[in-house]
Amino acid sequence: MKDKKKVKPEEEKEAKPRDDEFEKLREERDALQNEKNELLGKLQRVSADYANFQKRVPKQISDTLAYEKEKIIKTLLPALDNFEHMLNNAHSAENVDALIKGVRIIYDQMLDILKSHGVEQIKALGKHFDPSQHEAVMQRSEPDKEDNTVLEEFQKGYKLNDRVIRPTKVVVNKLASEEKQEEPTEQATDKFETVDEYETTDTE
């Protein structure tokens, strides 16, 4: 039987650090593997949560819109009830004035309901024309009114929380150019007359 090869002390010293280094690398590898598995698990959970979120959000939006519609409709129902009541009793109304008064009450009630939802009418009559709130559908000339003044409202405009959702259709005062320049023309005529007087004096 052959004798086993003896390991020299120097080789034993070199082998021991290598074993320690390999062990350290294995530990680092295991730690990285655990970290990777942990991150992968977190990613999968986030992905699942996001998928559920995508499914849940459209339903939440739909439910919210349905709730808001329901709330608005409920506020309109009393006005509709009053309108129906007025129609049912229109034949027994004493005169036209009483009927008109009933319509006016329901109209004011509708405005109050809209106001409760942040909707307000745009006041235009007598005001200076504002293209951001008014839409000119016709022009008319009234010399006793200022130029670009709203003379008449064809259709009411409305704002929702100070944002225009429909401009007011209006008739705008548009003075003729001769009327605008009438005063300066008279002043110019006076100057020409003065010049003519000087020229006449010089000639004499």
User: The domain that contains 131 carries what CATH number?
Assistant: 2.30.22.10
Q: Is the pLDDT of residue 95 over 90?
A: no
33 located within any domain: no
Count CB neighbours of 57 within 10 A. 10
142 located within any domain: yes
32 located within any domain: no
**Rounded Cα gap, residues 74 and 52, in angstroms:** 33
CA 158 to chain centre: 13
Looking at per-residue confidence, does 79 or 14 come out higher?
79
Same domain, 163 and 124: yes
Same domain, 127 and 171: yes
pLDDT digits (tens, 9 = 90+) for 25-67: 888 888 888 888 888 888 889 888 888 888 888 888 888 888 8
15 located within any domain: no
83 located within any domain: yes
Amino acid code (one letter) for 152: E
Same domain, 79 and 106: yes
Q: What pLDDT is attached to residue 127?
A: 95
Range of the domain at 77: 73-117
The answer, as to whether pTM is greater than 0.85, is no
Same domain, 130 and 146: yes
Number of domains composing the chain? 2
Closest CA to 121 of 131, 129, 111: 111
Instruction: Copy the structure tokens of residue 172.
Output: 């705008």
Are 150 and 129 spatial neighbours (Cβ–Cβ below 8 Å)? yes
Q: Is the pLDDT of residue 167 over 90?
A: yes
Coil, strand, or helix at residue 202? helix
55 located within any domain: no
Amino acid code (one letter) for 198: Y
* pLDDT class of 85 with cuts at 50, 70, 90: confident
80 located within any domain: yes
Q: What pLDDT is attached to residue 179?
A: 52
Mean pLDDT value of segment 145-149:
93
Distances in Å between the Cα of 197 and the Cα atoms of 52, 89, 150 are 95, 81, 45
110 located within any domain: yes
